[in-house]
């Protein structure tokens, strides 16, 4: 591997490509700039990665554009074989990948292992699905001619991912785009580019042709996206991250009418109704809230509990939270690692301090003993009002707020009182009641008696300010294709 750096991990050395992946080669940034990646468990830098300039981004688009035509014409069987090899490669490199995710993000290593396996499963699913894609042949109601429909790759695609799932988010986007026959330019988050570097290496090993997959980390995301999205050769942008940046990218997409998929922020309600299995609901709320230290777009942001069971639920929930172990992400016994960055810690602390000043009460007892790294303890707040800032903002940290509701109707009303609409969780043993609430929730995803929703074969995506389009499921590959209609005279 050219242009690489050896990183020591508790499972041995890992070789990280440090260049930009452009046209099948690892190359220096044109200005030779690099940027450092920090380990949130220690606050120390552990690797330096090439920092793509806007000129490098154009080089990547040149490569993607040159590779597009031939990749788009490959058979789906051929693409399926390559997708399967990527799944195999992810599993072969699972140990290094999970340690690197853990090192650059602070995700507990057990969770990082789950992220790697989940990413491999996305490629498994796409490898199966891509050979099953069909067009259609039909007659219009008034007869006279024939309608043929077929799908073609949309073209070079710009894939922008966040730091909270450095591999899974890349796998969703890159996998669907490659399956659809598109060449890609992947831009990882500046905080977590290392995982994408290894992922790029795995794609090359799996036989992805040169120029089809390009990886260009950068410290100047805004300049990069402005440059690329002004270029008419780019045909698609798929973004996961904040609503603010998503909205900005939608504006950049407008002049050239670039197709967009947007997975944005959330403010997920976790509703526990009378008659729920309270023990299970409390245990699951811990998973739905504290996975990845709450830095998850589908995290339970507002825990809304029917008044009659609030006391029992809260007691069980707080007891479980008080058992959570906080520590360095590489320790396999740790439940909650550090947050991804110092600014993330500041944001969460500020939100909690404001809620407490406004009258909320801290009812959990976990503290942090680490004296370095970006740690923040898991917390539970009660007594917050629906008008507090913490009720309307995405917390993106290990802080749960428990609200009480008069009844199911009141719970749903509060749940829907947000500009977001990604996910809602409902706990009730009355399936009819749970389904009725599921129909009323204004979200793209609803989970009933289940704390985890991501699944390659299911359509993941939000409505309202939470986004546009779906990743995974029946339509995931279609997000990267144009449907063509051919009218045939007979």
Residues 463-482 contacting ligand NAP, CB under 6 A: 467
Residues 166-185 contacting ligand NAP, CB under 6 A: none
Binding mask 211-240 for ligand NAP (x = CB under 6 A): ----------xx--x--------------x
300 makes contact with ligand NAP (CB under 6 A): no
- Provide the minimum distance between the beta carbon of 81 and ligand NAP in the complex, in angstroms, as a whole number: 29
Q: How many residues bind ligand NAP (CB under 6 A)?
A: 26
The string over 285-311, giving b where at least 16 C-beta atoms fall within 10 Å of a residue's C-beta and e elsewhere, is bbebbbbbbbbbbbbbbbbbbbeebbe
| Listed residue (221, 359, 381) closest to 294, CA to CA | 381
- Provide the minimum distance between the beta carbon of 84 and ligand NAP in the complex, in angstroms, as a whole number: 25
Paired residues of 425 in beta bridges: 270, 447
324 makes contact with ligand NAP (CB under 6 A): no
Per the rule left: phi > 0, alpha: psi between -120 and 50, beta: everything else, 3 is left
- Provide the minimum distance between the beta carbon of 76 and ligand NAP in the complex, in angstroms, as a whole number: 27
Return the number of the residue (58 or 433) whose C-beta is nearest ligand NAP: 58
Among 19, 89, 166, 265, binds ligand NAP (CB under 6 A): 265
Among 51, 104, 263, 306, binds ligand NAP (CB under 6 A): 263
**Host H or E run for residue 100:** helix 94-105
392 makes contact with ligand NAP (CB under 6 A): no
Return the number of the residue (309 or 348) whose C-beta is nearest ligand NAP: 348
CB 355 within 8 A of CB 389: yes
Structure-token pair, residue 161: 């991912």
245 makes contact with ligand NAP (CB under 6 A): yes
C-alpha distances in angstroms, 55 versus 3, 19, 223, 256? 20, 15, 10, 20
Start-to-end CA distance of the chain, whole Å, equals 57
| Beta pairing, strands 12-17 & 20-22 | unpaired
- Provide the minimum distance between the beta carbon of 4 and ligand NAP in the complex, in angstroms, as a whole number: 22
Among 154, 189, 213, 465, binds ligand NAP (CB under 6 A): 189
Binding mask 443-462 for ligand NAP (x = CB under 6 A): --------------------
297 makes contact with ligand NAP (CB under 6 A): yes
- Provide the minimum distance between the beta carbon of 242 and ligand NAP in the complex, in angstroms, as a whole number: 3
Cα 224 from Cα 234, distance rounded (Å): 13
Return the number of the residue (160 or 185) whose C-beta is nearest ligand NAP: 160
Return the number of the residue (89 or 444) whose C-beta is nearest ligand NAP: 444
456 — phi, psi (to 5°)? Answer: -55, -35
- Provide the minimum distance between the beta carbon of 265 and ligand NAP in the complex, in angstroms, as a whole number: 4
Return the number of the residue (258 or 434) whose C-beta is nearest ligand NAP: 258
Return the number of the residue (9 or 220) whose C-beta is nearest ligand NAP: 220
260 makes contact with ligand NAP (CB under 6 A): no
Return the number of the residue (181 or 444) whose C-beta is nearest ligand NAP: 444
Q: Return the C-alpha torsion angle 455, 456, 459, 461, nearest 10.
A: 70
| Listed residue (6, 57, 2, 7) closest to 29, CA to CA | 57
Residues 125-164 contacting ligand NAP, CB under 6 A: 160-164
Cα 301 from Cα 348, distance rounded (Å): 12
Among 46, 270, 396, 480, binds ligand NAP (CB under 6 A): 396
Return the number of the residue (41 or 240) whose C-beta is nearest ligand NAP: 240
Cα 100 from Cα 195, distance rounded (Å): 6
Among 72, 118, 266, 472, binds ligand NAP (CB under 6 A): 266
Beta carbons within 8 Å of 419's beta carbon, 6+ residues apart:
267, 464, 465
379 makes contact with ligand NAP (CB under 6 A): no
3-state secondary structure of 140: coil
190 makes contact with ligand NAP (CB under 6 A): yes
Q: Which are the catalytic amino acids?
A: 263, 297
436 makes contact with ligand NAP (CB under 6 A): no
Give CB contacts under 8 A, 24+ apart, made by 355-362: 355/381, 355/384, 355/388, 355/389, 355/390, 355/401, 356/381, 358/384, 358/385, 358/388, 359/383, 359/384, 359/385, 360/384, 360/388, 360/390, 360/401
Structure-token pair, residue 301: 């942001």
Return the number of the residue (51 or 284) whose C-beta is nearest ligand NAP: 51
| Listed residue (26, 182, 39) closest to 112, CA to CA | 39
Structure-token pair, residue 187: 């831009």
Site residues (CB under 6 A) for ligand NAP? Answer: 160-164, 187, 189-191, 221-222, 225, 240-242, 245, 248, 263-266, 297, 394, 396, 422, 467
């Amino acid at each position: 591997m050219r242009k690489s750096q050896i990183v020591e991990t508790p499972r041995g050395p890992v070789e990280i490509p440090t260049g930009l992946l452009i046209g099948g080669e690892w190359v220096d940034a044109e200005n030779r700039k690099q940027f450092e990646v920090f380990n949130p468990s220690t606050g120390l830098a552990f690797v330096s990665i090439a920092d793509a300039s806007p000129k490098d981004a154009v080089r990547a688009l040149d490569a993607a554009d040159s590779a597009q035509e031939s990749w788009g014409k490959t058979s789906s069987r051929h693409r399926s074989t390559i997708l399967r090899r990527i799944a195999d490669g992810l599993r072969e490199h699972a140990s290094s990948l999970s340690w690197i995710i853990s090192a650059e993000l602070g995700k507990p290593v057990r969770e990082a292992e789950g992220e790697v396996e989940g990413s491999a499963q996305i490629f498994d699913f796409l490898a199966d699905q891509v050979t099953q894609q069909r067009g259609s042949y039909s007659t219009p109601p008034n007869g006279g001619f024939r309608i043929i429909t077929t799908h073609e790759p949309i073209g070079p695609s710009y894939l922008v991912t966040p730091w909270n799932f450095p591999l899974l988010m890349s796998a969703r986007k890159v996998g669907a785009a490659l399956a659809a026959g598109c060449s890609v330019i992947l831009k990882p988050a500046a905080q977590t580019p290392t995982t994408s570097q290894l992922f790029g290496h795995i794609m090359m090993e799996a036989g992805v042709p040169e120029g089809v997959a390009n990886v260009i980390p950068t410290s100047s995301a805004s300049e990069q996206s402005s440059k690329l999205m002004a270029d008419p050769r780019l045909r698609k942008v798929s973004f996961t991250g904040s609503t603010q940046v998503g909205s900005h990218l939608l504006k950049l997409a407008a002049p050239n009418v670039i197709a967009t998929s947007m997975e944005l922020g959330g403010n997920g309600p976790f509703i526990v109704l009378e008659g729920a299995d309270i023990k299970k609901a409390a245990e699951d709320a811990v998973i739905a809230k504290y996975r990845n230290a709450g830095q998850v777009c589908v995290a339970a942001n507002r825990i809304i509990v029917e008044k009659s069971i609030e006391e029992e639920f809260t007691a069980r929930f707080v007891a479980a939270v008080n058992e959570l172990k906080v520590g360095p992400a590489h320790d396999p016994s740790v439940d909650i690692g550090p947050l991804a960055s110092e600014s993330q810690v500041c944001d969460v602390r500020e939100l909690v301090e404001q809620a407490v000043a406004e009258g909320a009460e801290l009812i959990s007892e976990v503290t942090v003993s680490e004296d370095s790294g970006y740690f923040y303890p898991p917390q539970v707040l009660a007594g917050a009002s629906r008008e507090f800032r913490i009720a309307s903002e995405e917390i993106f940290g290990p802080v749960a707020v428990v609200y009480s509701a008069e009844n199911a109707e009141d719970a749903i009303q509060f749940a829907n009182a947000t500009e977001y609409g990604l996910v809602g969780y409902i706990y009730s043993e009355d399936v009819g009641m749970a389904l009725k609430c599921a129909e009323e929730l204004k979200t793209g995803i609803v989970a009933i008696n289940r704390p985890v929703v991501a699944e390659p074969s299911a359509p993941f995506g939000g409505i309202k300010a939470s986004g546009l389009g779906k990743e995974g499921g029946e339509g995931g590959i279609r997000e990267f294709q144009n449907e063509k209609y051919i009218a045939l005279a007979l």
